[in-house]
Amino acid sequence: GPHLWLCLREGCLFVGCGSGKEKNDHSGDHEKERAHPLQFNLTTKRIWCYSCQQEVLPRNDPPFQLVSS
């Protein structure tokens, strides 16, 4: 099923489902509307870049942790 994706643009914090299909792909719609390309999958903890159309691999993986500033 679809996963929830968190927008990584500073101050945005949008969360939307991403089905990988055009219909009901709210994270993809968010990127198109706001030009916020980096999304964090809350289930798999993977980062996707819509600009590059590929997964972003963090240097500190594993484990990857979001650090609040």
pTM (2 d.p.):
0.74
DSSP 27: H
* 33 within 8 A of 11, measured Cβ to Cβ: no
Mapped onto helix, strand or coil, the DSSP state of residue 51 is coil
Each residue's pLDDT expressed in tens, for the chain with a length of 69 residues:
578 999 999 999 899 998 666 677 889 899 999 999 999 999 999 999 988 888 888 665 555 555 554
Give the pLDDT confidence score for residue 42 in this predicted structure: 94
Quick one: pLDDT at residue 5? Answer: 94
Specify the DSSP class assigned to residue 37: -
